[in-house]
Chain A
Amino acid sequence: MGKLKVVKASPLSTIQDFGRYGYRRYGIPQSGAMDKESMIFANQLVGNKADYPVVEFAITGMRLEAIEDSVISTVGAGLKLNGKVMNRITNLKPGDIVDVGTPDAVYGYLAIRGLIEAKEDFGSVSTYVMAGFGGMEGRVLQAEDILISRKSIIKIVESTPSNGETQSTEIRIMKGPEWNMLKELPSLKSFEIDPSSNRMGVRLKGILDCEYQEISSSAVIPGTIQLPANGQPIILMNDCQTTGGYPRIGKVLDEDLGKLAQMKSGRRITFRTIS
Chain B
Amino acid sequence: MSNKELKSLQFNGVSWKVTHLGETVILLECASSVRIEKIHQCSRIVIEILGKELVDIVPAYHSIAVFTSLSIEDLVNRLKNVETDEHSTMATLAIVELPICYEVGLDTERISKHNGLSLKEMISMHLNGVYRSLFVGFTPGFIYADGLDEQLNCPRLDNPRKGIAAGSVGIAGNQTGIYSIESPGGWNIIGRTPVKIFDSTRDEPMLIGIGQQYKFHRITKSEFEAWGN
Contacts and interface: CB of A to CB of B under 8 A. Distances in A.
Interface of A: 21-29, 121-122, 130-133, 174-177, 179-180, 182-183, 185, 216-221, 223-224, 241-243, 248, 251, 253-254, 275
B218 interface: no
Given A177-B29, A219-B21, A242 B137 contact: yes
B136 A26 contact: yes
A27 B137 contact: yes
A22 B52 CA distance: 11
A141 B91 CA distance: 44
A206 to B, nearest CB: 18
B120 to A, nearest CB: 33
13 contacts: A22-B55, A27-B141, A27-B142, A122-B200, A130-B181, A130-B183, A133-B140, A175-B5, A179-B1, A220-B21, A221-B22, A241-B139, A251-B21
B63 interface: yes
Contact of B56 (A24, A251, A254): A24
B58 interface: yes
Interface string B24-48: 0101010010000000000000000
A254 B62 CA distance: 26
Nearest to B25: A221
Nearest to A23: B56
B136 to A, nearest CB: 4
Contacts of B200: 121-122, 131, 133
A176 B3 CA distance: 9
Q: Which of A27, A29, A183 has the most CB of B within 10 A?
A: A27
Interface string B118-146: 00000000000000000111111110100
A254 B180 contact: no
B61 A27 contact: no
A218 B65 contact: yes
A236 B180 CA distance: 22
A213 B131 CA distance: 28
B137 A217 contact: yes
Interface residues of B, number: 42
Contact of B60 (A130, A216, A224, A248): A216
Nearest to B181: A131
Q: Which of B19, B21, B181, B210 has the most CB of A within 10 A?
A: B21
A243 B135 contact: yes
Given A122-B200, A182-B1, A217-B137, A24 B67 contact: yes
A220 B27 CA distance: 10
B133 to A, nearest CB: 11
Contacts of A28: 140
B138 A180 contact: no
A221 B21 contact: yes
Given A24-B67, A130-B183, A223 B137 contact: no
Contacts of B20: 174-175, 251
A242 B137 CA distance: 6
Q: Which of B32, B60, B198 has the most CB of A within 10 A?
A: B60
B56 A22 contact: yes
A216 B141 contact: no
Contacts of B67: 21-22, 24
A266 to B, nearest CB: 27
B23 A175 contact: no
A241 B60 CA distance: 13
Contacts of A223: 22
Contacts of B65: 24, 218-219, 221
A22 B136 CA distance: 14
B60 A219 contact: yes
A152 B120 CA distance: 63
A248 B21 contact: yes
B160 interface: no
Given A133-B200, A243-B58, A243-B60, A179 B3 contact: yes
Contacts of A26: 136, 140-141, 198, 205-206
Contacts of A21: 55-56, 67
A68 to B, nearest CB: 31
A27 B139 contact: yes
A131 B140 contact: yes
A104 to B, nearest CB: 29
A26 B200 CA distance: 10
Contacts of B205: 26
B4 interface: yes
A22 B25 CA distance: 12
B57 interface: yes
B92 interface: no
Contacts of A224: 21-22
